[in-house]
Amino acid sequence: MTDRYAVVGNPIAHSKSPLIHAEFARQTGQDMAYTAILAPLDDFAGTVKQFRAEGGKGLNVTVPFKQEAWKLATRLTDRARLAEAVNTLKFEPDGTILGDNTDGAGLTRDIRENRGIPFEGKRVLLMGAGGAARGVLLPLLLQKPERLVIANRTPEKAVELERRFAAYGPVEGGDYARLAGSLFDIGINATSSSLSDALPPLPQGVFAPGALAYDMMYGKGLTPFLQFAQTHGAEHLADGLGMLVEQAAESFFLWRGVRPQTSSVIAKLKQL
């Protein structure tokens, strides 16, 4: 029987996940269907319950339900527990609802494998201290950067993340002004600033020679952050399309135990 999966969000119409998972299923010969479900803002739990009752095997969860999914899971991976956000649910035969967060693995894999840039010994800057930043912090620290600085407009939130993640690596949190005079090899924009056509208030001269600027957002052309990075010394620029496909691959692996090949899917999405 065909196993059923879906992505749940609100809005959901523009999600690329059905296309990505259909491509993975075709490529690996997995008998599965993957759809998009619009959940009412006040009834995520009911939507999940119904999908499970109909025999659904797993869900991807997107805005604005990742924190609700974290609460709903009855077992969490470490990375989901620390992120306090879940983007992947797996319904186990024994009734367990496993919650995982594959965003950080998607981000680090895109940078390390697809772009050939390792994190070991690198100075990493993470901009933002909301859900998107929290979701990638543990996987980033597990890559053993030399230092990981979190900068946020509201510095208290970055300091709070420093406290929470200090046991996992050399993490520091604060405001943007304190970045002046520091150099970074990898700068990751995890703020939602691109949505309002804005960019984080970065001081001049933070990109080290050969630096990568990475925006977790994607869309047409360069985001304001990537435009800034391009004119302020970053050598490599990347948007979040690769992360999107890699986090999907990681979810697919959790569900099916098979790792799909991602580069052809990334190339296909770029053409669209």
The residues binding ligand ATR (CB under 6 A) are 128-133, 152-154, 157, 191-193, 198, 200
CA 56 to each of CA 18, 23, 49, 122, 207: distance values in angstroms, whole numbers, following the listed order: 15, 19, 9, 42, 46
CB-nearer residue toward ligand ATR: 113 or 160 = 160
Would you give the end-to-end CA distance of the chain in angstroms?
A: 32
Phi-psi region of 208 (alpha: psi -120 to 50; beta: other; left: phi over 0): beta
Closer of 131 and 260 to ligand ATR (Cβ): 131
Supply the DSSP symbol for 202. P
Q: What is the identity of the amino acid at 76? A: L
Please tell me which residue in 16, 49, 57, 66 is annotated as part of the active site: 66
Q: How far is the CB of 129 from ligand ATR (least distance, A)?
A: 5
Indicate the residue among 200 and 260 with the shorter CB distance to ligand ATR.
200
Q: In the complex, which residue's CB is closest to ligand ATR?
A: 130
Work out how close the CB of 155 gets to ligand ATR at its nearest, in angstroms, rounded to a whole number: 8
The least distance separating ligand ATR from the CB of residue 63, rounded to whole angstroms, comes to 7
Active site annotation includes 66: yes
Distance CA 235, CA 225 (A): 14
Minimum distance, C-beta of residue 94 to ligand ATR, in the bound complex (Å): 32
- Specify the residue, 105 or 129, whose C-beta has the smaller distance to ligand ATR: 129
9 touches 15 (CB < 8 A)? yes
Residues serving a catalytic function are 66
